[in-house]
């Protein structure tokens, strides 16, 4: 298992074991690069043994709080000191991104902890052969204790949403620990218990009464503090800079709180009218950063693609672009980078925020007779064929209006009628993200629509696509990525704000108003763009044989209806508006991933 994780921690490795328990660790040294940070780490009292992945940013503040004979200057040892004094309650003190495992020799229990936002992964499996856990699925498989059997409902989940909703994974015997959760495995009775120590749904129901001026001050203070915390490192660091609002805010804040010149990185794939490079250069010049502009041609990306897919620990509809950016950043000598990930979810940067507010005001539509709504949906789909009309059709055919179903529809790739034709199933399983959101029982109030959308985005797409991809693709190169927008104190505060304060009438208005000196009009009011790989052309051209081979193979697997899968592929190749690249690419990814299992 340790060997399977060597890419994540090339600096050191260690194993601790007794008669019934073994803990392994691979280290990427970021803070205190000495051997004193070696793991697994045993507590001074001898009772606890810990392995830890990630960072606790407030470890210096916590260090003096505990009377402990420290042997290092690592955050890891502060975590162990806190645990030895407070037990699992100590995790509520930690500000950071982390995955923690602690073996208690006395109680014979293993505790697993995942950070509040789910930035760092924790996979686990419990069967008749034992209990095991890891930062990656493929390390669990390397243990020989876990079956490679796919979970049928998860495969459907993946085809719908290009990912699998936590706590499930693509494999039947592997689970992912929910963020903000402590899992305890009791060796003596072979039982598992779970406790939640942080819940964004609860935070979103708190109400702030601050004025807009006070809100702007608080947002700025919390964001600056978040960035400053994330600059603690004993290795070279930098920032991803696309020239968008989020990355520009991060880079601007870094230059405000750091005495060092900041390294910034922009990957541009070719110079044309759609390139973001001029905006990144503008911010770099504005803050006098040491700017690295890395130029790649489409052929370069295609060359890297097989390696990017082989680094995909869990299948995802996205990710190769993160792999390429991380590779180039690491090769430039950087070991840690800050990213603007999370800004859209916290500050309402997606179109769905305004769309869901509009839908909430039109709930009366679902009081109309179902037959009338169904007829309207069919007529609309016939007049304007394409993905958008299929989604409108699915919305109008809901029995009753459901926030959760409406939200999930916006993120759905292959629609249910398409899937029924592709799978050998009499009935499709329930939508996992919908069921997950319904289980949270978040209160529905007129002034918290935006917070509900934020939490829904954070706990579905962000957690299971963006953060999973960011971790697995950056750590493939031993590059640590930190995300200041996901500081839990900042997120809690913004979630507590009523809709009228943070409605994005212009792009991320609250964030922009809070950082006017960091976000000039040239950046805020730039044309809506963003690099999009020419996947459609590639799949019809240079990548056709590669994709065709994998889609044809997947079509022959037991779960799939061969004729239906090949029909979807054929419709894409013919330019059918309802079958875009993002509907067929996950088929390629899934087959490639299954082949990686040796199946």
Helices 351-360 and 449-457 pack at an angle, to 10 degrees, of 130
Question: Distance between terminal CA atoms of the chain?
Answer: 20
Judge whether 138 and 3 are in contact, CB under 8 Å.
Answer: no
The Cβ of residue 562 has, within 10 Å, a number of other Cβ atoms equal to: 14
Distance in angstroms (rounded) separating the CA atoms of residues 526 and 524? 6
How far lies 552's CA from each of 120, 167, 545, 557, in Å?
Answer: 35, 30, 10, 9
Contact by Cβ (8 Å): 7, 477: yes
- 75 marked as binding residue: yes
340 assigned binding-site residue: yes
Pairing of strands 123-127, 191-196: unpaired
Integer Rg of the chain from CA: 24
The tokens of 27 are what? 């280290």
Q: 481: which strand partners?
A: 337
Q: How many residues would you count in the chain? A: 599
Is 348 among the annotated ligand-binding positions?
Answer: no
SS3 category, 114: strand
* Cα–Cα distance, 304 to 288 (Å, whole number): 32
- Cβ contact 39:76 at 8 Å: yes
DSSP E strands in 449-519: the ranges are: 480-482
Sign of CA dihedral 209, 215, 217, 222: positive
| Alpha carbons 171 and 154: distance in angstroms, whole number | 8
* Three-state DSSP string of 242-282: CCCHHHHHHHHHHHHHCCCCCEEEEEECCCCCCCCHHHHHH
Phi first, then psi, for residue 263 (nearest 5°) are -85, 125
415 and 394 Cβ atoms separated by less than 8 Å: yes
Is position 339 annotated in a ligand binding site?
yes
Locate 231 and state its tokens: 């600059």
Q: Are 220 and 512 in contact (CB under 8 A)?
A: no
Q: What is the rounded distance in angstroms from the CA atom of residue 110 to the CA atom of residue 355?
A: 44
∠ CA 82-84-86, nearest 5°, is 60
Count CB-CB contacts under 10 A for residue 129: 13
How far apart (Å, rounded) are the C-alpha atoms in residues 128 and 27? 30
What DSSP character marks residue 80? H
Chain-centre distance for alpha carbon 399: 31
> Which tokens go with 295?
């130029």
Q: How does DSSP assign 514-542, residue by residue?
A: H-TTTS-HHHHTSPS------HHHHHHTT
Whole-angstrom distance, CA of residue 491 vs CA of residue 486: 6
Binding site: which residues?
75, 267, 339-340
Binding site for L-glutamine: which residues?
75
Binding site for ATP: which residues?
267, 339-340
């Amino acid at each position: 298992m340790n060997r399977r994780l060597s890419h994540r921690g090339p600096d050191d490795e260690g194993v601790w074991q007794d008669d019934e328990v073994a803990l392994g660790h691979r280290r990427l040294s970021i803070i205190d690069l000495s051997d004193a940070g070696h793991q697994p780490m045993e507590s001074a009292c001898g009772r606890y043994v810990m392995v830890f992945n990630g960072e606790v940013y407030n470890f210096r503040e916590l260090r003096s709080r505990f009377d402990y004979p420290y042997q290092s200057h690592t955050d890891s040892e502060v975590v162990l000191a806190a645990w030895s004094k407070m037990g699992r309650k100590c995790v509520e003190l930690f500000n950071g991104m982390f995955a923690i495992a602690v073996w208690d020799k006395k109680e014979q229990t293993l505790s697993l902890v995942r950070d509040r936002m789910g930035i760092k992964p924790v996979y686990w499996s419990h069967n008749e052969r034992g209990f095991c856990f890891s930062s990656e699925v493929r390390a669990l498989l390397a243990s020989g204790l876990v079956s490679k059997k796919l979970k049928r409902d998860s495969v459907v989940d993946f085809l719908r949403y290009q990912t699998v909703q936590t706590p499930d994974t693509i494999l039947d015997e592997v689970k992912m620990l929910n963020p903000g959760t402590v899992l305890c495995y009791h060796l003596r009775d072979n039982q598992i218990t779970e406790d939640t120590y942080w819940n964004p749904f609860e935070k979103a129901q708190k109400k702030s009464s601050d004025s807009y001026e006070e809100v702007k001050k608080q947002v700025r203070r919390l964001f600056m503090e978040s960035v400053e915390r994330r600059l603690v490192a004993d290795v070279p660091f930098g920032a991803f800079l696309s020239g968008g609002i989020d990355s520009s805010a991060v880079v601007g804040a870094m230059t405000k709180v750091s005495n060092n010149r900041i390294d910034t990185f922009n990957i541009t794939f070719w110079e044309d009218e759609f390139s973001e490079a001029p905006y990144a250069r503008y911010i770099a010049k504005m803050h006098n950063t040491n700017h690295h502009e890395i130029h790649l041609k489409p052929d370069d990306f295609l060359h890297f693609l097989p390696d990017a897919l082989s680094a995909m620990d869990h299948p995802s509809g996205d990710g190769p672009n993160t792999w390429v950016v991380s590779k180039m950043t690491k090769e430039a000598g950087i070991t840690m980078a800050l990213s603007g990930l999370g800004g859209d979810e916290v500050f309402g940067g997606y179109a769905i925020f305004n769309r869901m507010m509009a839908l909430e005001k039109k709930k009366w539509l679902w009081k109309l007779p179902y037959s009338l709504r169904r007829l309207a949906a069919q007529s609309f789909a016939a007049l304007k064929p394409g993905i958008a009309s299929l989604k409108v059709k699915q919305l109008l055919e809901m029995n009753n209006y459901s926030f959760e179903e409406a939200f999930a529809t916006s993120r759905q790739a292959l629609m249910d009628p398409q899937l029924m034709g592709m799978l050998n199933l009499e009935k499709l399983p329930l939508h996992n993200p919908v069921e997950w959101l319904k289980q949270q029982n978040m209160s529905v109030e007129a002034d918290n629509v935006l917070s509900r959308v934020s939490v829904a985005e954070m706990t579905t797409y962000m957690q299971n696509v963006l953060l999973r991809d960011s971790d697995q693709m950056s750590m493939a190169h031993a590059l640590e990525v930190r995300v200041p927008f996901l500081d839990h104190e900042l997120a809690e505060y913004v979630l507590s704000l009523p809709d009228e304060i943070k409605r994005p009438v212009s792009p991320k208005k609250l964030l922009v108003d809070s950082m006017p000196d960091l976000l000039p009009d040239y950046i805020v009011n730039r044309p809506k763009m963003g690099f999009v790989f020419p996947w459609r052309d590639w799949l019809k051209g240079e990548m056709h044989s590669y994709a065709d081979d994998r889609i044809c193979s997947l079509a022959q697997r037991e779960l799939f209806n061969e004729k239906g899968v090949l029909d979807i592929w054929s419709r894409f190749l013919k330019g059918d508006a309802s079958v875009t690249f993002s509907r067929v690419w996950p088929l390629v990814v899934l087959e490639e991933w299954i082949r990686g299992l040796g199946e």
